[in-house]
Chains A and B, each alone.
Chain A
């Protein structure tokens, strides 16, 4: 490959990367998780989360709700990757860092199901890059 052709290839690769980065963002209302993930997430939450966050993750005395008004006020418009990172790094309080990325995605799926956000056929991806493309919204966006 000539030096010039190499430069062109690099430039084209760069363009492709930019195009990928600018892929249209989705919201949680675009059927981004499966019901099965939600059920697995519920089992995890029952074992590890409800003791502090309460039944249905409605919030406890010293742990915030993970659904509802207060949750929406904090996380509206935020990419799911941020929420996943927060869970992965800090929870559960007694053994933080022990949840795998797929488990974290299952918990997110459960949280979405609690808000009656519809499930679909494609599972919520566990990797941060893909989650970064999905925005949390508490209501369906208008077309």
Chain B
């Protein structure tokens, strides 16, 4: 090649790089640059949980002070201790759910003063709901003239409120309410029908989309439980526009993945997580849970679409465009727990409209969101067969090759606690009673003589969970909190009283244990299996909770840190006296927030600060390195994912906190006035 050629190639490369940067740039700032509000649960319809605000930065984060607090106790008949809300902020008004009856409040975003409150007493319907308490959030809609707040009650009714007054909108459903237990393509008891939703609805244009959740499925009462279909409604009228059957009906595509009549005899497969939307492609992305029976699939042989699949459907019609199943024939409760995060990435010079799905099993699955094709290979690999009678586990499962897992996967002896040789020896002895193995090691039928259970990591609740992750669209770094925790997963034969499943989750009892007295009615009696703890310490090595940064342009893990100061029960444990234990992290459900300047996340659980206060810290990290750059005390752990907005020249951070004996509270942080002018 001549010099001239070299130069022209170099110029071409520069042009290509510039255009790629422009591509990323135009995407990066479309959601939030025009305003400083927070209009959807995930920060934008792409669920990035990103804000371009920069007033709060590494130099001043630790100077944050409480601007106001809003206690949610009186929003329902009793206090709530698990406030999971991420509020919205539009036009200087903060909207949030709260209280045990899931009321909606509108607060002055600068002072926390209540403008209005709406609450519906659903009586028995609300009391018997599978997903109670205050929920995770709500949705905002405007056509430029009207403004509405839309949410789903514990009793599965969708309500549209006038955002200015809090009054139900008369033209929506019946007097502002759509009964979601009707018009759902199945018979359902209006009171006891086992369906509800914690998540916020999502709105695009004039379509509001609603998923479904059920009771946890470890011991389902009926194998043909209610189905969790997804529906789109006209946000103006509440009229149903479409329904997507997450378990196909006879004759529909996907039915071939169910053997015999198992599709008709299975339920669940709801979408209890948040969804994401690409308005340009006109698609909404549904993260589907598994069908009935979290750990036993003997009644539903086959891969069972669309269980544990991401499904892309058209916003306006509900018509399926593509699907991708993450786990075949699920028996590990690998429900897809959170919103897929939409990112426009550049891989080896190629621009890809991508979707990045954090999961319980510790992988982020990166797919082309127009087609559903994996960006990096996802390989079908052989996995161990199940030995549980009647169970036909899938012989293969999809393995993500890139990016690396953000959580520990599988259990080996090397993963066990090793603070001291004695603790390790005790851990090895305990683990010998269990089955251990890599990811996708199947659950066992529990035997007292062993194996008592399969030790599973990530645990049945992840890994990631409903809180999901955040994405910085300037760098395409994806941030996700995760737990490293072991579940002892085993099955026992159902006695037929609590469930009509053949097997349900449970652990064998010692049949030879002499009962000191007859077991109380309803109790299993006999000696129960030991907890998977070693002298009260976790069986697995720390870190117990982490935040990871993944570069999803490259498919790399950039950094990973322990998130959460070491809990008191470990710091003060007599068996660890004299040892220096690095920060271990604390286990919970922690949503992260990315801003122009920082990555922000509160801690789970409690600890005692050096000054003797019991509480949790709100922490800020450098986005590039994971280095901690600031911390602020909170009297209780973060239980809802944080959000941020700018009002009258000042940036606010809102965190939902609660737990232990501390009832639900929204806390607003901002910088002191002098700190905002000097930075």
Contacts and interface: CB of A to CB of B under 8 A. Distances in A.
Nearest to B465: A61
B82 to A, nearest CB: 8
B586 interface: yes
B398 interface: no
Contact of A139 (B127, B335, B519, B536): B536
Contacts of A62: 131, 198, 216
Given A46-B523, A78-B661, A70 B588 contact: yes
Interface stretch (A11-19, A50-58, A126-134): A50-58
Interface stretch (B244-252, B366-374, B568-576): B568-576
A73 B605 contact: yes
Interface string B163-184: 0000000000000000000000
Interface string B521-541: 111110011111101111000
A116 B505 CA distance: 21
A51 to B, nearest CB: 6
Interface residues of B, number: 66
A68 B216 CA distance: 19
Interface in A45-95: 46-47, 50-52, 54-56, 58-64, 67-70, 72-78, 82, 85-86, 89-90, 93-95
Most buried by B among A59, A61, A137: A61
A101 interface: no
A123 B79 CA distance: 29
B605 A70 contact: yes
Interface string B445-485: 00000000000000001000000000000000000000001
A100 interface: no
A42 B507 CA distance: 14
Interface residues of A, number: 53
Contact of B79 (A63, A89, A140): A89
B586 A72 contact: no
Given A51-B219, A73-B605, A76-B569, A116 B132 contact: no
Interface of A: 35-36, 39-40, 42-44, 46-47, 50-52, 54-56, 58-64, 67-70, 72-78, 82, 85-86, 89-90, 93-97, 113-116, 137-142
Contacts of B132: 93-94
A46 B509 CA distance: 15
A69 B487 CA distance: 11
A113 B216 CA distance: 24
The 5 closest A-B pairs by CB, nearest first: A73-B605, A43-B522, A43-B520, A60-B216, A138-B536
A91 to B, nearest CB: 10
B119 interface: no
Q: What is the predominant secondary structure among interface residues of chain B facing chain A? A: loop
B122 to A, nearest CB: 12
Contact of B461 (A46, A59, A116, A142): A59
Interface string B213-251: 001101100000000000000000000000000000000
A40 B81 CA distance: 26
Given A68-B533, A74-B606, A89-B78, A60 B218 contact: yes
Given A74-B606, A76-B568, A93-B132, A69 B520 contact: no
Most B C-beta atoms less than 10 A away, residue of A76, A97, A114, A115: A76
Given A62-B216, A69-B485, A39 B523 contact: yes
Given A67-B531, A69-B538, A76 B567 contact: yes
Contact of B506 (A39, A55, A68, A97): A55
Contacts of A47: 522
5 contacts: A46-B524, A52-B216, A72-B536, A77-B614, A116-B530
Contacts of B574: 139-142
B7 to A, nearest CB: 60
A74 B78 contact: no
A44 B133 CA distance: 22
A143 to B, nearest CB: 10
A140 to B, nearest CB: 8
Interface in B503-557: 504-507, 516-517, 519-525, 528-533, 535-538, 544
Given A72-B567, A73-B606, A115 B573 contact: no
A43 B528 contact: no
Given A52-B215, A69-B485, A78-B661, A115 B505 contact: no
